[in-house]
Amino acid sequence: MTWDWGAVRNFLPHLWDGLLVTLQALVLGSVISFVLGLVWALLMRAPTRWVRWPVGVVTEFVRDTPLLVQLFFLFYVLPEWGLTLSALTTGVLALGLHYSTYTMQVYRAGIEAVPAGQWEAATALNLPRRRTWTAVILPQAVRRVVPALGNYVISMLKDTPLLMAITVLEMLGQARLFSQQHFQFTEPLTVIGVAFVLVSYLASLLLRALERRLVR
């Protein structure tokens, strides 16, 4: 078997289209997971168990079921309830929801790592509860958890090929389509493997730069 550079050149436009979809799903899914994970973490600190208990059940259920099952549920079941979303929107929501249950635990650890003296100082200054969270606790907690959040961004990137199962043409979807049309599998699959390595590496560099900036 010989390596066909012509197949690589022909696949590159498809790779670019798939890369744009992959990055879109990654960025939007990460934003949802970061925001929703923080909401879950704050609700788990609610003073009443009638808030904590449902949140705990929902997040545990989402965390303990496969992402692929959640993708199929959102894509095929929601339309039966009258809610029809595009394949990409469904994939973004599934990624964000699934990973929010993990970022929730990261936020909880960061909040609990804030020294007790910070809470006491805020109380001594008679700061309102909202001001205590936004100006004292959360800035310190988020700074501590950036590395862990970054790890989940990389994990989410490696899970984006699952979106192919609901017809999203991300990088693997484009490679599969190209391979089926041209009966060439080695070149496109090798190229997307290299592409994932490069994107993961660049993402890790950006996250480390962000971490160093926040530590200053």
Compute the average pLDDT of residues 93-122.
Answer: 88
pLDDT at 18 (0 to 100): 95
pLDDT at 141 (0 to 100): 82
Model confidence at 216: pLDDT above 70 = no
Q: What is the full DSSP assignment across the chain?
A: ----HHHHHHHHHHHHHHHHHHHHHHHHHHHHHHHHHHHHHHHTT-SSHHHHHHHHHHHHHHHHS-HHHHHHIIIIIGGGGT----HHHHHHHHHHHHHHHHHHHHHHHHHHHS-HHHHHHHHHTT--HHHIIIIIIHHHHHHHHHHHHHHHHHHHHHHGGGGGGGT--SHHHHHHHHHHHHT--HHHHHHHHHHHHHHHHHHHHHHHHHHHHHH-
Question: pLDDT tens-digit profile of 61-97?
Answer: 999 999 999 999 999 999 999 998 999 999 999 999 9
